[in-house]
Every structure is written in C-alpha cells, then in structure tokens.
Amino acid sequence: MKSRLRKTAWLYLLFLIPYVAMLWVPSYNRVEPTLFGFPFFYWYQLAWVPISAVIIAIVYFVRGDE
Amino acid sequence: MFEHINPIATAVFGALFVLVSALGFMAARWRQAPLGTLHEWGLGGGRFGTLVSWFLIGGDLYTAYTFIAVPALLFGAGAMGFFAVPYTILIYPFAFLVLPRLWVEAREHGHVTSADFVRQRFGSPMLALAVACTGLIATMPYIALQLIGIQVVVAALGFPTRGFVGELPLLVSFLILAAYTYKSGLRAPALIAIVKDVLIYITIIAAIIIIPAQLGGYDKIFAGLPPDKLLLKPAVRNDFAGMSAYATLALGSALALFLYPHSLTAVLSADSVKTVKRNMMLLPAYSLLLGLIALLGFMAIAARVDKLPQYAEYFAQYKGNFAVPALFLESFPDWFAGVALAALAIGALVPAAIMSIAAANLFTRNIYREFVRPDCTSEQETQMAQIVSLVVKVGAVAFVLALPTQYAIQLQLLGGIWIIQTLPAVILALYMRFDPRALLAGWIVGMAWGTWAAAAQNFASSTHPLVLFGVKVPGYAALYALALNLSVSVLLSLVLRKRRNQSSPSRRPEAKLRA
C-alpha cells in the first residue's frame, strides 16, 4: 500500500496543468473560435471546470483515501 | 407605500422563506446529539457525509453576494469579472492537497478554528491571536455583504427601499436567522443549504435557457457587447495590463478561500478525509453554475435593464448589484421571479449563518478561552459561542443599516487582502518550518502593506499598479502583500534558526513546542 502511494505520488503533478492553463491568460484572451455563440475566452474557461474536476478524480481514484 | 409590491412574487418568496425557517428550527433535532459542546454546536458534531457536506460547503462558498456581485462585475467591468471562473477552478486541486491534512490534524487535536492549528503548532498565543483577529475582521464585512444581498432582493420585490418599513424585512429575516442559528448551530445551515441549492439550480437552469432565447441567442448577447468588455485588455510592451491582473486575482482568491473561517468550519464538519476529498472532486459543479450565473451580467446588458425607467431608482441606489434581480423580474413570470429571488435571499442566509458560527467559534476558542477564562467548561464555551453568534449578526445588521453600502464592499475587499496573510501560518506551515516570531513579523508586514496598497487606490480596487524593472505588472494586492509576508517569514525564520543553532548546540525544532 505504502509503495503504491509512493509510486503514484507523481500524479499530483497533474494538478499543475489547470494552473498553467488558467494563469497563462494570453493563451485564451480571444474571440475565435466561438462555440454555440460563446467567444473562446468564455467557453474555454468554462470547459476547464470539468477538465480540472476529472484531473482531481483521476488522482483520487488512483490513490484512494490514503 | 406598498403600491410597488409585486404580490405574486412576494407570496411565493414568503412561502419559501417560511419553509426554510421551519427547517432551521427543526435542524436542532436532526441527528440528535447533546449540543453542549462547541464541536457539536459549531461543527455539527463532525458527522456530515459526502452529500450533506457538498450542499453545506457549496452553499457556504457560493454566497448570495457572489450570485449578485459577480454578474454585477461583468455587467459593469466586462471580461475582468469572469476571473471568478479560473478562481474557482484553481481552488480545488490546491484544497485537495491541503485540506485532508488539516482535517486529520484537527481531528487529532480537537481543533475548531484556523487559530487552533497555529496555537498548537507553534505554542504562540500571540500568533494565534493574530490569526483569530484576521479571521474575525475578514468575516464581519462578508456577513454584511450577505445582508446587502437580501436588501437588493427585498427591494426587487417592490418593498420601499428607505425608512424603517424598508428595513423591516431585513430585520425580520435576520432575527429568524439568529434564532435558529442560536438553537441549532451548524445543523441549521446544513439543512437549509439543501433547499437553497435546489432553488438556485432550478433558477439558473431556467435562466440560461429562457433568457438567451428571449434575447435572440448567445451570439447576439456577446455581439452586442462593447469590445472593451468582451475581452481583457491585452498586454503591450512594458505593460501586462489585464493579463497579470486577471491571473493574480484568480490565484490570490483561490489561495485565500479556505483561510476564511466559514470555509474551514464547513470543511472540518465533514465526517472523514474521504468526504473532504470527494467534495474537492464534486464541488466544481458549483463553479460551472457560477460561470453561467456570471454571464447573467452580459444578459442584463443585452436586455438593457438599466435603461428601463421602472428600475432607474434601484440602479441609482444599488448600482450593478441590481442587474440580476432586474433581469429576473423582466424575463420571468411573477411566480417564478418569486422563486428566483427567494433562491438569492436564502442563498444569503446559509453563508451568513455559517460565517456567524465561524466568527463565534474564533472569538470563543481563541480569545475568550485563551485570554479571558481559560478554565471555562465546554458548556460555558458553547453558550458563549451562541451569544457571540447573536452579537455578530446584530453588529452586521447595525453596520449595514447605519453606514453606506460602499463601506461594507470596501471592507470586504480589504478582508480578502487581510485573510491571505494567514496562509503561511495556517497552511504553508504544514510543509515548511517557520519560526512563530518570523510568521508574526511577516503577518504585520503583509497586513500593513496590503492595507496601504488598497488605501492608495481609495479602497475602490484591489489591483495594485506594480512596476518591476520598468514593466507594469498590475496585480491583486493580496498576492503581492502575501509575497512580502512570505519573504519576511522565510528569511527571518532562517536567521532566527541560525542564531539559535549557534547559541545552543542541542536544537529543538520550534514546530514541536507545545503549550
């Protein structure tokens, strides 16, 4: 159990992904491409809500409750 | 005097309010246990499972003021207001790492507040006092803002906005809130949060379907926006402009959120680490909701609600905060406007209750028991907390009624700058070794600089125009103040440790010192 936890500790690095995506503001400060009438700026950030939840879920289900 | 009242909306609103109040009083008997300890009254016994915690934490973090102020920000300032979305995205990975550790530590030592952690880790009553006071002064204006949320909703129902009659609905709702919080403790908001969230979800789903259809679709809503509201001000040479402001606002707010006493109270009431972790995975559902609610601000621009003569008086008084209520009144039939406005008002009661409980816990645990009556029994401690929760609410009502709304908003802005100064002592100390004197010094520097930075902006904005090597990096003053605080805390800790190592070869790690 302990060794599995240590082996999967790198999964926490996944948490950096939403941070990089959200803090790199110039990468999404634009209108095109639009989706369902939403400019990119808005739908892209909204899309990151479920993506970051899935990232947390991956870490949670792989590592369990410790 | 009452000729403007919307009878159908008010009736629906009143019925929902009565239902919720009854629930609040019944909550005392829910999962019954003797309410004679602070752990039972102030943390609901720490027995809330995944689902109840989800409602409680969600109802606590996503406050009525959020539902009114975030769209108001988009309505007034445009894209910058959307920082609430990256903010709530960045919270949960961070909280997933940190909160389980805090929860375990709290369970081990019987902690109820953030200052309890600091007291036990460092054995420094002064540092714990600093953390407790920061929590108290940051929470009080937050409670006042919830009241302002209720005020706006009551005005939208058509009640007079000035004079004693205008203040009556606010007084009555807070009296009822105070009574059931006193009686049921944290169980009351936990139960009410379920109703609140169901109402909010119904309202928002209806809003994002019905209103865009009335306005001709999302593309039309966005197409009608002026370009400076549609996107952030891009960076140019020598100026990061909107880019750094947006990123630092999101990051700083995310780091600060779980330092607020009411957030921690809700988390510590969870029954297990598993519940905490599952909630960090499930709470983003609310962030999606918040993102959609934020867009109501743009819908209000498209619907031109501020140009309608019947709302002119309200916009003059409440500014952008009236955008969402006006949009609901314009777009929904009266009965559903009643539901939507009730959702907002009840949405104010849940966090207001939790905030007053959290403030009461802080005062009782870290000031009263620490400095006034160290020998008090747990019954006396709980009774004191119940009384303080009343005092806190009365204080908030008096504040809102006696002073201009602007003060509460400015103080809440300062509250965000202040509360983040407890991050090193409460959270970073889990991972790093600090000297308590260094933390106190860092806290003083952070508080002082942050307050100065906000004052330099006339308390109108929390964005500080920092210039680094000739490049403008406008950013959230709270984050810059935290950077200063952290530099002082780390450097001074190193200096103090080095000095002690020289004076006594048998060093004792300061974190192991117990009271």
ipTM of the complex, rounded to two decimals: 0.92
Query: A1: distance to nearest CA of chain B, Å?
Result: 17
Q: How confident is the model over B194-204, as a mean pLDDT? A: 87
Sign for the CA dihedral angle at B394, B199, B16, B297 comes to positive
Q: Which of B271, B277, B299 to mutate to test the interface with A (most CBs of A within 10 A)?
A: B277
Evaluate if residue B38 carries a pLDDT over 80. no
Name the residue with higher pLDDT: B488 or B177.
Answer: B488
Q: Which of B75, B68, B473, B423 is nearest to A25 (CA)?
A: B473
Query: Does the beta-carbon distance from A56 to B92 stay under 8 Å?
Result: yes
Whether A37 sits inside 8 A of B219 (CB atoms) is yes
- Residue B312's pLDDT band, with cuts at 50, 70 and 90, is confident
| Tokens, residue B151 | 């005020």
How far apart CA B129 and CA B115 sit, in angstroms, is 7
Q: Is the pLDDT of residue B507 over 60?
A: no
Residue B473 has pLDDT above 50, yes or no: yes
- pLDDT above 70 covers a percentage of chain B that reads 95
Residue B471 tokens, joined: 């490049």
Give the tens place of pLDDT for each residue, B376-386: 787 888 888 88
Task: Output B50 or B246, whichever has higher pLDDT.
Answer: B246
The pLDDT assigned to B148 comes to 83
pLDDT confidence bin for B512, thresholds 50/70/90: very low
Please state the rounded mean pLDDT for residues B340-359: 86
Confidence of residue B468 (pLDDT cuts 50, 70, 90): confident
pLDDT at residue B36 in the model: 66
Rounded Cα gap, residues B343 and B199, in angstroms: 5
Average pLDDT over residues B151-175: 80
Q: Which residues of B touch A12 (CB under 8 A)?
A: 97
Q: Which of B23-37, B297-311, B421-435 has the highest mean pLDDT?
A: B421-435
- Per CB-CB distance under 8 Å, the chain A contacts of B220 are 37
- The DSSP 8-state label assigned to residue B364 in this structure reads I
Mean pLDDT of B285-291: 87
* B215 pLDDT more than 80: yes
Subunit contact B278:A25, Cβ cutoff 8 A = no
Pairwise CA distance, residues B451 & A53, whole Å:
35
* Closest chain B CA to residue A27: B243
What lies within 8 Å, CB to CB, of B227 at 6+ separation is none
Question: What's the mean pLDDT in B326-332?
Answer: 89
Q: Which residue has the tokens 């806190």?
A: B392
B419: closest CA among B250, B265, B268, B258?
A: B258
The per-residue pLDDT for A45 is 95
Q: What is the pLDDT of residue B461?
A: 79
| Contacts (Cβ under 8 Å, ≥6 apart) of B305 | B311, B323, B326, B327, B330
Contact A22 B250 (CB under 8 A): yes
**What is the mean pLDDT, run by run of 10 residues, along chain A of 66 residues?**
71 89 90 89 94 91 76
Asked whether the beta carbons of residue A66 and residue B273 sit closer than 8 angstroms, the reply is yes
Q: How far is A30 from chain B (nearest CA, A)?
A: 7
Mean pLDDT value of segment B94-122: 89
Short-list B20, B45, B46, CA closest to B34? B45
